[in-house]
Chain A
């Protein structure tokens, strides 16, 4: 069974940093691209970032470019999102998600971790 478990969320002041982790199991991690998607309270889904299976290719939404970095440790089956210069509009539940059949659709999601940016 595929399992994705996010951690690292919490309350942070504007301008601060957080590092989200997503521990995975139940599939061959280094065979799949991985994605972060966020959802602000009461709002829709917003794609944040995707990384290829090897980690050699990454994509970021314009809204987080220059502030967020996606990475992965294939030896530990773990996905990361380093978030710097956080703003109030980064407040959201952050989901990690597993790529689907080599595409940038996703077919398994974690339960999410809440990031709140507030003073």
Chain B
């Protein structure tokens, strides 16, 4: 099973600041990594797929990068609606796995 480790667990930032979230895989997943956003009490939403592609309707302030075992989700300038929990997920191998999540909270 591929283990995805997200860091930091919590990121405390102010609106307008840049957020950098990390997801590290225990073995290569090539580019087959997605990022999801989950707001409190809501279902998750697909943000990025295959490491660097924005899903439909996702603002350009969200960007993804990386390959193999190291991936980054960047939010260039935090908007109030971006404070949420973010999860990465790999589809390289079964079983599918999610990271433990990074909570982006208001400082």
Please report A residues at the B interface, Cβ cutoff 8 Å: 35, 37, 44-47, 50, 59, 61-62, 95, 100-101, 103-107, 109-112
CA distance A54 to B78 in the complex (A): 41
Seen from chain B, the residues whose Cβ lies within 8 Å of a Cβ on chain A are 1, 32, 34, 36, 38, 43-46, 49, 55-56, 87, 89, 91, 94-101
**Residues of A contacting B89 in the complex (Cβ-Cβ under 8 angstroms):** 45, 47, 105
A86 to chain B, nearest CB (A): 20
- Is there contact, CB below 8 Å, between B43 and A106? no
Q: A103-B49, A107-B55 are in contact. Are A47 and B97 (CB under 8 A)?
A: yes
Report if A106-B95 is in contact (Cβ < 8 Å); known contacts: A44-B101, A45-B87. no
Q: Is the CB of A45 within 8 A of B44?
A: yes
A105 and B46: CB pair below 8 A?
A: yes
Whether A59 and B49, one on each chain, are in contact in the complex, defined by CB atoms closer than 8 angstroms, is no
Tell me, in angstroms, the Cα distance from A95 to B98 when the chains sit together.
14
CB distance from B42 to the nearest CB of A (A): 8
- Structural contact, B95 and A105, CB atoms closer than 8 A: no
Beyond A45-B89, A59-B95, A62-B1, list 18 extra A-B contacts (CB 8 Å). Answer: A37-B98, A44-B87, A44-B99, A44-B101, A45-B38, A45-B98, A59-B94, A61-B95, A95-B43, A100-B46, A100-B55, A103-B32, A103-B49, A104-B91, A105-B34, A105-B46, A106-B46, A107-B46
Q: Across the interface, name the chain B residue whose C-beta is closest to A103.
A: B91
30 A-B contact pairs sorted by A residue (CB < 8 Å): A37-B98, A44-B87, A44-B99, A44-B100, A44-B101, A45-B44, A45-B87, A45-B98, A46-B98, A47-B89, A47-B95, A47-B98, A50-B96, A59-B95, A61-B95, A62-B1, A95-B43, A100-B46, A100-B55, A101-B49, A103-B49, A103-B91, A104-B91, A105-B34, A105-B46, A105-B91, A107-B46, A107-B56, A109-B45, A110-B43
